[in-house]
Structure 1
Amino acid sequence: MGRDSSTLLGILAGTAIGATLGILFAPDKGSNTRQRIVDEAQAARDKIQEGAVHLKESVVNTVSHKKETLDEQVESIVSDMSHKTEDVITTLENKLAELKSKNKKYQKA
């Protein structure tokens, strides 16, 4: 995602700079050159806005996907721990029953 956004911004900036320089060095009347600069600036602004929208959507989708994945992982971990806890409780209950049985042997009636 970071490399894509850097590439997109580099392409847009290069396009804007190249178009501006091309217009400035083209032989034309000053008013025509100024109008072309304005038009190119607006076109560059539109492209940047489109790129920003695309980047935002990409970030939102990535974050949403990562959140879902994290939620699933947390749920899986909690479930695993619950099963392990149940196993430990069962083992402790069996050990306690065994100890109670041994203790009864030592008690006098």
Structure 2
Amino acid sequence: MKDKNLIIGLLGGVAVGAALGVLFAPAKGSETRKKISDKSHDLKDSLKDTACRISDKISQTVSSLKNETQDVIADAKEILQEEKSNLDNIKQINKSNIL
């Protein structure tokens, strides 16, 4: 979560800094508008790239967690089966001792 906030903060700071730098630069209005447009396209592309990388990382993490969960469930089922077998053995031993 901290990484996400850091990335958003950095990108926001870059966008504000670029916009202020362009607005206060001595240039014609048409040149300034073109610069703002170009910077906004660059920022949009950068945000898309960052979003894709974050999405890929989330997908990998979810997949990894899913696999680990399936492994834990399989292990738990195996342990339960072993314990059930042990319990059945104990029942048989107790039955033979009672009779």
TM norm. shorter chain > 0.5: yes
Q: Which runs of 5+ in 1 are unaligned?
A: 101-109
Deviation at 1:96, TM superposition (A): 1.0
Structure number, greater radius of gyration:
1
Please report the RMSD computed on the Cα atoms of aligned residues, expressed in angstroms.
0.8
How does the TM-score come out when normalised to structure 2?
A: 0.95
Instruction: Tell me the amino acid that sits aligned with residue 48 of structure 1.
Output: L
**For residue 74 of structure 2, what is the aligned residue in structure 1?**
75
List per-residue Cα deviations over 1:37-76 (Å, max 9, x = no partner).
0000000000000010001001000111111111111111
Paired residues in the alignment total 99
The match for 2:42 is 43
What secondary structure does 2:82 align onto?
Answer: helix
Partners of 1:62 and 1:9 in 2: CA distance: 20
Q: Which residue of 2 aligns with 1:65?
A: 64
| Higher mean displacement: 83-92 or 7-16 | 7-16
Q: Report 1 or 2 for greater relative contact order, CA contacts < 8 Å, sequence distance ≥ 6.
A: 1
- The DSSP-based 3-state class of the residue aligned with 2:61 is helix
Q: What do the CA deviations read for 1:73-95 (whole angstroms, capped 9, x no partner)?
A: 11111111111111010000111
Q: 4+ residue runs of structure 1 moved beyond 2 angstroms?
A: none
* Paired-residue identity, %: 26
Q: Which amino acid is the alignment partner of residue 72 of structure 1? A: D
Which residue does the alignment assign to 1:12?
11
